[in-house]
Each structure stands twice: as structure tokens, then as C-alpha cells.
Amino acid sequence: MSKPVLQIEKLSKSYSLGKRNVPALSNLSLTVNAGEFVAIMGPSGSGKTTLLNVIGCLDKPTSGQVLLDGIDVSKLPENQLYKIRRDKMGFVFQTFNLLPYLNARENVELPMEGRIKSKSERKKRASELLAMVGLSGREGHRPQRLSAGEQQRVAIARALANNPAIVLADEPTGNLDSQNKQEIIKLLANLNITQGTTIIMVTHDGQAAHHTERMLLLKDGKIINEKQGTHLMKKNHTCPHCGSSIQMSDDTCPTCKKPIYSSDEPFSA
Amino acid sequence: MSIMVSIPAGVLANQQTASTVASNLSNVISQTSASINQTATQIDCSLAPSFSGFGFGSGSGGSGSGPSFVFGGGSASGRSGFTPGQFGGGTVTGQFGGGAFNGGQSSPMNESLYTDINSTISGVAVVEPILQASEGQNVTTTLSFNGYTRDITRLDVEYTIEGIPLTASLVDNYPILPTNITAGSNLQAGDSGVVLLSENNSAYFGAGVGDAITILNQTFTVAGIYSPSSVSDTQTLYMNLSDAQAITNNTGYITSLTVFAQNSDVVSQVATSISSVHPELTVTTDQDRLNQLQTLQSTYNTELANAQASDSQTYSTAVEEIIVVVAATSLIVLFVMLYTVRERTKEIGTLKAIGFSNLTVMGQFMLEGILLSMIAGVVGIVIGSIAAPTLSALLLPSVGIGSRSATGAVIVSGTTRISGLSVATLSPELILLAFGAAILLGTLGSLYPAWRAAKIRPAEAMKYE
Ligand SMILES: Nc1ncnc2c1ncn2[C@@H]1O[C@H](COP(=O)(O)OP(=O)(O)O)[C@@H](O)[C@H]1O
Ligand SMILES: [Mg+2]
């Protein structure tokens, strides 16, 4: 039904620390289809960030192949990679990474600068994106005048600026309180359904992971387990417990009254 | 950094002062040469020693303050184009530096003793007795230079009266009055109770044509105003000799005589005759004046050479300073920008992660560095224009040489004020130059930090501290 947007074959990545070789990813293979919402979990140091960096062309693999939209990016030089990052990738960071001296709209405009010549067109699109993440009317606000949750919304709008093939989010809820965590995860899930955005999200938070459709467990640079998330069911409008029909906005099943998302750790040992 | 930018600005300002001095001196030299050709049959006679030239003068006599009235000597300023005796010698106790004149003060001479010149000496066409007197304030100033200090008391001349006989034979036939009348009319034969003012006089008295002015308690009507043709008679006003004698209480006395020979061939013969009949007189002929002016010219040439030497010395100092400052400022921009780049590693990583090319990032930081130094440049120019004279005097002793010449230039250009040591001003070219330097510095200093910024790994964006 969907075509693969990301194909990773036998990917290895190691860092050299002085004379020591630190393996971060070893012989990892993964395929992600367009429109998927994937969670990557795993203990600290298991290679989650490294994997996102390699997928996002922020770092080069030591060996193996990474195909993005059919393009092998593992061999591309830097003067081509920046265009891949700009045109095919959207990044959401744990620390938001907005530019403090630019307002919300200008931050969202940044990735468009190299692509869209017309300033007014960029402005228009940035405003639309801010509206999409629920921040209309806040265009002129600088990051310091926005709450953490709002800053992450701006960052998500910025990630969507160039209609990326994949949005990569490294612990996007890691710096948020539980209320904002919920809102951001729902925003991402909603974007995945309404816009068809492919999202790969690294998270420590089991509850957040349940909101995706595929949960991967990384350990020592390898994917050692995979489970289905609840999001897939929700996408199909079926309750994970009783199979009856549910709405997107439902948190509990109208038929069996059970909470739709489990609060269990998906990969408890 | 701003201070740094202001230093070469100050140096350059002084350098410009020095070059202004040079060009002023050149002007005076050409004026002097021109006046050599103007005099033909004129012979000046006075009791005073004639012009003694540049350098430290020594004199004796009065000091103190308050209005002072001094008889000036030398040749009539309107014609020779140059009056050495502007500063009354009697009040000058010492002159500092190049350019102040220890001019000859004439002793008043009894007019009746010299009536024989006209009748007994052959070859004389006409005799013009002159009474010249100046009024001004005695001013004592202390100048210091290279550790020496010296008190100078001088007459700050406010105006000089030149009394000449307004007879038809003289007025109508000889160039004894200024010719460039800008308002009203020139003095006429037989005039009395009227004066011809220079433009400076007019401003000093605040009087125009037809106005009454009071000179030494006597009221005069302003007949006309002239524009001085030479640098030296900017403060000379003309009146009838008998009026001048009356108001200065010198009836029967004059300060000099101008004898016109019948033609230029007999000038030296007439001069010799005057000298033999009146050995007490200093007789100056056309030829003498020529020699004198040539001496003056060579003095000026020396002074000009000095000014130019100090000019180039100041210039090379300026160049050295600029090199040092360029280097220093570049270094400061370099360190500030390196610090900025380090502080903003995550931001730069983010920019690269969201699709900025190395080149764009580099350009961004170059621009910031240039902007930084431009702001510094503006502040530097502002500080520089306020503090340049002080700064240059404090920091750069060599500038003082140029300034000393500047003092000379101020005098030779006809102003009677000996100005302060250094007058450094910032011209638009200098401001542009400083601004250009600032941009250059910014570019140089930002190059390496910008390159460092471009080399930051985009993965830095993912780091969480
Ligand atoms: N730049 C680097 N230099 C050296 N080692 C690194 C670097 N980045 C990550 N590593 C190492 O690679 C392994 C995986 O790190 P990372 O991908 O950050 O893990 P996670 O995001 O899952 O916590 C760790 O052992 C870490 O120390
Ligand atoms: Mg990590």
C-alpha cells in the first residue's frame, strides 16, 4: 500500500574516541513506509540519537546504506547533504532549538529561505503552519515569551516548513510537563493522520510511545524488539480492547469505557 | 576597540592639519613673490630696525594686561603687501616657535626734521609721511612644548591706524590707499574726520558705511570698507595723517616716511642720498625689499619644508599606528567572534540541521563581524572627533611638530592670534577612511571565526546539555 520512504541496510556507525573505537550502531536494518509514525525506544547510550543523526544526514554512517526517498545519502558530500536536510527532513529537538532573536514566524521561515524566493510567500506559509499547530496570533512572539509547550509547537511548525518526507524528533517531550507532553504527542499524531507526515520519534516515555503505530526497541546499536502501537488502531477507528468503532478525539472507548492508550511500559523486562 | 579606531583618526586629523599648514605656507610664498613685482619706485624710511625674521625673538619692555597702544613700524602695509611690524616689539618678551614676528617697532620721528628730503634730494617725486599705531590687549600666555615652558606677552592687536596725508597729489597719483572698496567710497583728497575700514575693522567696530565710530575718544564717520588684498592689512584702518596725529597725541610726529622716486632708475641713488643726509634712518628700497622678501621667502620655504617633513613624519606615524590598530582591532574582532561562535555552537548546528549550507552560515557570521566593527567604527569616530586633539597630543608627541607649524600658519595667514598647540579636526574623508578601515578590520577578524562556524557539525544541534 505505502512505498518505503526510508530503507536502512546493514548500517554501522562507530565513533573514535582517541584510539578507542566506540560502536554506536551495528549492522542495523530498518524500513519505514511513507505515512508511518514510529517510536524508537531504548536505554541511554543505546544509539537512538546516533540513528536519528544518520537518518537525518547530520552524521555519516561508517558502513551500510541509507536510502531516503530512493536516494543513497550515505555517499553524498556535505554540499549536497544540506539540501537533503532542507528539502526532505524536518527536525524536532528535545531543547526546541529556536533562534532566540527571531520571532515565532521568522523561526518557521528559516528553512524556507534557501527554497522560496518570495518573502511574502514565506510569511504566508509560516503563518499557516503556526495556525496548524495552534499558535495563530502568536507569530510576532519571541521564544522567551512562549511557554515550553508553545516553543515546541513552533519547532514542529518549522520542521514542517518544507513539506519533509520524514520528521525526526529526538525526545520531543523530554523537556515538557505531563500536560504539554500530552498535547505535543497528540499534535504529532494528528499531523501524522491529517497531513500524512512520516514521523520517527525517539522517546523514553512509554505512554508517548503508545501513541505511535510502531514501537522499536534499540539496544547496543541494534533493534532487538518491535511492537505495534495503539495509534494504528486509532487510525483504523477501532478500539484496541473491544474492537468497536472509535473517533480520533476519543481517549476512552465509548463502548467498553476502557482508556484507549495503555500506560504500561511497552518493553518492560 | 572604538578607542582604537579613534587613534588613527586623531593621527590622520593631525596629519591633515600639517598638510593644511603646508598649503597655507605655499600660498603665502606665492603672495610674497607677487608683491615683489608690485613695488617699483617706493622707498621706505623709518627709525626702526626692519623686519628681523623668524625664530625666538627677544625684547624687553612692558608686560601686564590692559589696553595698550603701540606704534607699529615698517613699511606701509597697503602697498608692500606685508607688514612685519604687526606686533609691537616693545611688548614682546619672547616669541615661541616659527612664525611669530619680532617686528620692528618704530620710534616716533619728528616730521619737521625730514621736510628737506623733498626739496634737497634730487630724484624724489613725492614724500608720504605716515603715522601708524595699533591698539590691542597685552596678553600673557604660557606655552609648553617638549618640556619647555615659556611665558609670552604680546599685543593682541585689535586694529591698526594708518594716518596718511590726504593730499590730491598723493591720493590721485600714488597707490597709498587700498583699491578694493567693497562698500561706500575710498578716502578722497582733503577728507578729515572720516575713515576707511577693512572688513575686519567693520566687524570689530560693528559699523558700516555712514556709521559713526569712536577711536581714542574722537568720532569718525565710516566712508567706506575695503577688502584687504594682502594677508597683513586685515586690521588696518586708514585716516588723514593730521587726524591720526591728533588722536594719538602725536602732532608733528610720524612713524615712517615713504619716498617715491621719479623713476626706478634713480631709486638706489635716492636711497643713498637719504641715508647720507639722515644716517639715523633705516632706508629700504625696492631692491632691499626684494632681498628682504626673498629672505622671507626662503624662511617660509624652510618652514614649509619643516611642515612637510613633519607632515610626512606624522603621516608615517599615522601609517604605523594604523597598521598596529588594524592588527589589534582585527584580533579583537577575531576573539569576540570566536567566542560568539563557540557560545552559539548549538544555534549554528541547528541552522545546519534545518538546511543552511556551510557558505550561508559563513556569510552570516562574516556579516555579524563586519556589523560589529562598523558599530565600533561609528563609536570610534564619535569618540575620535571629540577626543582626537587631546588623544593625539597625549599619545603622539610627533604631532606636536605639525601643530607648531600650524601655529606659524595661523599667523602667516594674517590672523593675529597665536592659536593653541593642536587643532585637529575630522574631515568627511577621514571619517570615510575610518569607516572603510572598520569594515576591512571586520572582514579580516571575522574570516577565521566564520570559517570555524561553517565547520561546526550539524549533529551539535542534537546535543543536550
Ligand atoms: N560524538 C560522539 N563521539 C563519541 N562517541 C559518541 C558520540 N556520540 C555518541 N557517542 C556514543 O555512541 C553511543 C550512542 O550514543 P547516542 O546515540 O547518543 O545514544 P542515545 O541517544 O540512545 O542515548 C554512546 O555510547 C555514546 O557515548
Ligand atoms: Mg540521545
| ipTM reported for the complex, 2 dp | 0.93
Which parts of chain B sit beneath pLDDT 70? 1-40, 48-107, 143-150, 152-153, 230-232, 286-287, 289-290, 293-294, 296-297, 300, 303-304, 307-327, 380-381, 383-430, 434, 465
Please list, in sequence order, all residues whose beta carbon lies within 8 angstroms of the beta carbon of residue B356, skipping any fewer than 6 positions away: A82, A86, A110, A113, A114, B364
Q: The dihedral of CA B34, B36, B42, B45: what is its sign?
A: positive
Given a contact cutoff of 8 angstroms between Cβ atoms, the answer to whether B237 and B160 are in contact is yes
Q: Under an 8 Å CB criterion, which residues of B touch A?
A: 346-347, 350-358, 360, 457-459, 461-462, 464
Per DSSP bridges, beta strands B236-240 and B194-198 are antiparallel
* Per-residue model confidence (pLDDT) at position A30: 97
Given a contact cutoff of 8 angstroms between Cβ atoms, the answer to whether B228 and B178 are in contact is yes
* Per-residue model confidence (pLDDT) at position B7: 52
> Which single residue is written with the C-alpha cell 590622520?
B12
Amino acid at A102: L
Give CA–CA dist B212/B221, Å, rounded.
Answer: 4
CB hemisphere CA count around B320 (13 angstroms): 8
Q: Which of B347, B353, B457 lies closest to A85 in CB terms?
A: B353
- Looking at residue B336, the DSSP 8-state letter turns out to be H
Strands of B267-406 (E only): list them.
282-284
* Per-residue model confidence (pLDDT) at position A138: 94
- Which positions in chain A touch B355 (Cβ < 8 Å)? 82-83, 85-87, 89, 111, 114, 162
As a whole number, mean pLDDT of residues A223-231 equals: 92
* Per-residue model confidence (pLDDT) at position B102: 30
Residue in B348, B350, B361, B455 to test binding to A, most A beta-carbons within 10 Å: B350
* pLDDT above 90 (res A174): yes
| CB-count exposure of residue B323 (10 Å: 0-12, 13-18, 19+) | exposed
Chain A and chain B share a number of CB contacts under 8 A equal to 67
Residue nearest to atom 18 of ligand 1 (CA): A49
As a whole number, mean pLDDT of residues A146-175 equals: 96
User: Bridge-partner residues for B222, per DSSP?
Assistant: B195
User: Bridge-partner residues for B142, per DSSP?
Assistant: B151
* Per-residue model confidence (pLDDT) at position B164: 92
Indicate the Cα dihedral angle A65, A71, A76, A79, nearest 10°: -150
Given a contact cutoff of 8 angstroms between Cβ atoms, the answer to whether B242 and B252 are in contact is no
Please list, in sequence order, all residues whose beta carbon lies within 8 angstroms of the beta carbon of residue A74, skipping any fewer than 6 positions away: A60, A61, A64, A65, A66
Report the candidate in A145, A143, A22 with the shortest Cα–Cα distance to residue A93: A143
As a whole number, mean pLDDT of residues A138-151 equals: 96
Given a contact cutoff of 8 angstroms between Cβ atoms, the answer to whether B77 and B38 are in contact is no
* Per-residue model confidence (pLDDT) at position B152: 67
> Which cell goes with B84?
612685519
Q: What share of chain B is helix, strand, coil (3-state, %, to 5)?
A: 55, 20, 30
As a whole number, mean pLDDT of residues A37-64 equals: 96
Number of neighbouring beta carbons within 10 Å of residue A141 = 17
Report the candidate in A42, A64, A39, A43 with the shortest Cα–Cα distance to residue A54: A64
Closest ligand 1 atom number to CA of residue A16: 4
CA of A82 vs chain B CAs: smallest distance (Å): 5
Per DSSP bridges, beta strands B194-198 and B218-226 are parallel
Give CA–CA dist B235/B200, Å, rounded.
Answer: 6
Please list, in sequence order, all residues whose beta carbon lies within 8 angstroms of the beta carbon of residue A189, skipping any fewer than 6 positions away: A37, A211, A212, A231, A234
Q: The dihedral of CA B15, B20, B25, B29: what is its sign?
A: positive
Residue that wins the pLDDT comparison between A45 and B416 = A45
* Per-residue model confidence (pLDDT) at position B2: 46
CA of B330 vs chain A CAs: smallest distance (Å): 26
* Per-residue model confidence (pLDDT) at position B123: 86
* Per-residue model confidence (pLDDT) at position B421: 31
* Per-residue model confidence (pLDDT) at position B440: 83
CA of B149 vs chain A CAs: smallest distance (Å): 58
Give CA–CA dist B100/B49, Å, rounded.
Answer: 17
pTM (global) more than 0.90: no
Q: Which of B350, B354, B358 lies closest to A78 in CB terms?
A: B358
In the reported structure, the alpha carbon of residue B206 is separated from the centroid of ligand 2 by a whole-number distance in angstroms of: 87
Alpha-carbon distance values, B320 to A206, B7, B464 (Å):
69, 11, 48
Closest ligand 1 atom number to CA of residue A47: 17
